[in-house]
Amino acid sequence: MGDPKFLRRTYDTPKHPWEAARMEEERKLLQKYGLKNKRELWKAQSILRGLRGQARELQARLRTGEPQAQRETELLLARLARLGVLQVGTPTIDDVLALTTEDVLRRRFQTIVLARGLAGTPHGARKWIVHGHFTIGDHRVTRPGYLVRLDEEGQIAYTPTSPIADDEHPMRVALRERLTAKPAEAPPVPAEGEH
């Protein structure tokens, strides 16, 4: 179990820390999604690694005709569809194996707040989330890395007690002007279905 004061790491670091190509790719993802450090990227990669490992194991068990594997596959696909990582419809195990790190990063609270136009930049979205200016339903969420489910996405709003909740707050006015005046220069946020 371990001491609760000393939590286990929720990510794995790269085996070769000084690969130029990998470091450049990580830097681009950090900049695109406004991540604080590489640890957040590695957490997303570890989540994806776990999902893909589970899918590979289920794929092997399905070949043997195990009935429980079919049920577990349906549960995994339903969970990923609820999370919004997979498209709703008829996803398969092959779709899980085709997922990328960006598919997980797109479901982060920080990215969705930015995509909905509630913040101007990825770093601004992060700052406002950490300072408690956003809620999902009735709950204040202060974790930018929280993976937002599809049913929660429509419940994202400013915290009622936050000064930013006022439409005439200077930050909201500036954000509105920036989004309406220059829609072509708004920060690029990937669409849901892109890979």
One-character DSSP codes across 109-135 = HHHHHHHTTSSSSHHHHHHHHHTT-EE
Query: DSSP letter at 147?
Result: B
- Quote the Cα angle for 171-176-182, to 5°: 120
Among 49, 151, 61, which residue's Cα sits nearest to residue 103? 49
Please say whether the beta carbons of 126 and 36 come within 8 A.
Answer: yes
All domains in the chain, ordered by first residue = 20-104 (no CATH), 107-185 (3.10.290.10)
Q: Which two tokens stand for residue 181?
A: 């005046």
Q: Which two tokens stand for residue 53?
A: 């490992």
Taking only the tens of pLDDT, the chain with its 195 residues reads: 567 777 888 899 999 989 999 999 999 999 999 999 999 999 999 999 999 999 999 999 999 999 999 999 999 999 999 999 998 778 899 999 999 999 999 999 999 999 999 999 999 999 999 999 999 999 999 999 999 999 999 999 999 999 999 999 999 999 999 888 865 555 556 555 554
How far is residue 41 from each of residues 53, 84, 143, 150, measured CA to CA in Å?
A: 18, 19, 14, 22
Global confidence as pTM? 0.85
Identify the sign of the CA torsion 31, 13, 100, 127.
Answer: negative
> How far is C-alpha 149 from the chain's CA centre?
10
Q: Give the integer Cα–Cα distance in Å for 25 and 43.
A: 16
How far is residue 143 from each of residues 6, 108, 146, measured CA to CA in Å?
A: 20, 9, 6
